[in-house]
Amino acid sequence: MNTIKSILIAALFLCFSLSSFSQSMNIGIGYNIGTHTKVGGLDYLVGRYNDTRPWLSKKMEDPGFFRGMSYSMDYYYLNSLMSFEWIGRKSDFLASGVSSAGDFTRDYRLKMNSWNFGLGRKMKKNREQREII
């Protein structure tokens, strides 16, 4: 289902860009990988998970890298800019061991998505600066 959404969003951006290049529209599609600087709450959750299950042979690791697709669209008009961006991030966690109930494996996927919207305006230069350049 997520793949279908990603393809539809990419097709929508592509349709808008092909019909709007004369209006100064840009699109971007990319893949991102990175880490978050503050995931203290998630580190605490993973630590408590490991502490309350001493029988785990493979402890759940703290979150490291997050990865995912990003889509952006910029529209330039007059001296202004309007920007839309969607960034999807996900990371997988795994823990396994043998409990009194038998073999135990737990997989988790954490997803964090964001929508960004921005407006900008071009700053005008002084006449002296234009003449020098």
pTM exceeds 0.85: no
Tell me: the pLDDT tens digits for 20-31?
Answer: 444 688 888 898
pLDDT band at 119 (very low <50, low <70, confident <90, very high): very high
Task: For the chain, give percent helix, strand, coil, nearest 5.
Answer: 30, 50, 20
Query: Which residue matches tokens 């959404």?
Result: 5
In which band, very low, low, confident or very high, does the pLDDT at 85 lie, cut at 50, 70 and 90?
very high
Q: Cα(34)–Cα(65) distance, rounded to whole angstroms? A: 5
**Distance from C-alpha of 21 to C-alpha of 25, rounded to nearest angstrom:** 5
pLDDT surpassing 90 at residue 116? yes
Contacting residues for 118 by C-beta, under 8 A, at least 6 apart? 81, 82, 83, 85
Q: Does residue 113 contact residue 74 with C-beta atoms inside 8 Å?
A: no
| pLDDT average, residue stretch 97-126 | 84
